[in-house]
Structure 1
Amino acid sequence: MRDNTEDFRQLFLQNVPLMDVRAPIEFGKGAFPQAVNLPLMNDSERQKVGTQYKQQGQAAAIELGHQLVRGKLKAARIDAWLAHVQAAPEGYLYCFRGGLRSQLVQQWLSDAGVQYPRVIGGYKAMRRFLIDTLDAAALECNPILVAGMTGTGKTEVISALDNSLDLEGHAHHRGSSFGRHATPQPGQIDFENHLAIAALKVRAAGHSRLVLEDEGRIVGSCSVPLTLYRVMQEAPLVWLEDSFENRVTRILGDYVINMQGEYAALHPSDAQAGFSAFAEYLLGSLQRIHKRLGGERYQQLDGLMREALEIQQRTGDVQAHRRWIESLLIHYYDPMYVYQRESKDPRVVFSGEQQAVTEWLREHCISE
Structure 2
Amino acid sequence: MTTVSAADYADILLSDRPLIDLRAPIEFNKGAFEQSVNLPLMTDSERAAVGTCYKKSGQMAAIELGHKLVQGKVKAQRQQAWAEFIAAHPNAYLYCFRGGLRSQISQQWLKEIGINLPFIEGGYKGMRGFLMQQTEQIAAALSMWIVGGMTGCGKTDFLKLRQDQIDLEGLANHRGSSFGRQINEQPAQISFENTLAVQLMRHQRQGHQHLVLEDESRLIGRISIPLEMHNLMQQSPLVLLEVTQEDRISRIVRDYVIDIEVAFVARDGEEEGRRNFETHLLSALDRIHKRLGDLAHRELRISMEQALQAQRQGRFDLHRDWIERLLTDYYDPMYRHQLKSRQQRIAFKGTHQEAHEWLDAKLAHQ
With the shorter chain as reference, the TM-score category is over 0.9
User: Which residue in the other structure is 1:343 paired with?
Assistant: 341
Q: Is the 8 A contact 2:3 2:121 kept in 1?
A: no
CA distance in 1, matches of 2:74, 2:294: 60
Please state how far the C-alpha of 1:220 moved relative to its aligned partner.
Answer: 0.6
Q: Any idea what the Cα deviations from partners look like across 1:133-159, whole Å, max 9, x if unmatched?
A: 111122111211101000110001111
1:52 aligned to 2:53?
A: yes
User: Which residue in the other structure is 2:290 paired with?
Assistant: 291
| Paired letter, 2:118 | P
Q: Is the 8 A contact 2:18 2:93 kept in 1?
A: yes
User: Which residue in the other structure is 1:178 paired with?
Assistant: 179
Aligned ranges 1:110-259 → 2 under 5 Å: 110-259=111-260
Q: Is the 8 A contact 1:97 1:122 kept in 2?
A: yes
CA distance in 1, matches of 2:3, 2:49: 32
Aligned ranges 1:29-68 → 2 under 5 Å: 29-68=30-69
User: Which runs of structure 1 show a deviation greater than 6 angstroms over 4 or more consecutive aligned residues?
Assistant: none
Please state how far the C-alpha of 1:348 moved relative to its aligned partner.
Answer: 0.7
CA distance in 1, matches of 2:104, 2:359: 48
Q: Is the 8 A contact 1:209 1:366 kept in 2?
A: no
User: Which residue in the other structure is 1:22 paired with?
Assistant: 23
Tell me, which stretches of 5 or more residues in structure 2 are unaligned? none
Q: Any idea what the Cα deviations from partners look like across 1:235-275, whole Å, max 9, x if unmatched?
A: 1111111011100100111111111111111212xx22211
Please state how far the C-alpha of 1:3 moved relative to its aligned partner.
Answer: 5.0
User: Which residue in the other structure is 2:5 paired with?
Assistant: 5
SS of the residue 1:55 aligns to = helix
User: Which residue in the other structure is 1:101 paired with?
Assistant: 102
1:300 aligned to 2:302?
A: no
SS of the residue 1:351 aligns to = strand
CA distance in 1, matches of 2:31, 2:253: 34
SS of the residue 2:213 aligns to = strand
CA distance in 1, matches of 2:194, 2:356: 27
User: Which residue in the other structure is 1:322 paired with?
Assistant: 320
CA distance in 1, matches of 2:63, 2:172: 39
| Paired letter, 1:331 | D
CA distance in 1, matches of 2:188, 2:138: 22
Q: Is the 8 A contact 2:2 2:119 kept in 1?
A: no
Q: Over the residues paired in the alignment, what is the CA RMSD in angstroms?
A: 1.4
CA distance in 2, matches of 1:50, 1:367: 57
Residues 1:367 and 1:219: Cα distance change in structure 2 (over 3 Å) = farther
Q: Is the 8 A contact 1:208 1:367 kept in 2?
A: no
| Paired letter, 2:358 | W
CA distance in 2, matches of 1:203, 1:177: 33
SS of the residue 2:143 aligns to = coil
CA distance in 1, matches of 2:191, 2:3: 27
Q: Is the 8 A contact 2:3 2:120 kept in 1?
A: no
Q: Is the 8 A contact 2:95 2:124 kept in 1?
A: yes
Please state how far the C-alpha of 1:31 moved relative to its aligned partner.
Answer: 0.6
| Paired letter, 2:121 | I
SS of the residue 1:143 aligns to = strand
Tell me, which stretches of 5 or more residues in structure 1 are unaligned? none
Counting matched residue pairs gives 365
Q: Any idea what the Cα deviations from partners look like across 1:44-92, whole Å, max 9, x if unmatched?
A: 1111111111111111111111111111111111111111221111111
CA distance in 2, matches of 1:323, 1:312: 13
- TM-score, with normalisation over the residues of structure 1? 0.96
Q: Is the 8 A contact 2:165 2:213 kept in 1?
A: yes
Match of 2:355 among 338, 351, 357: 357
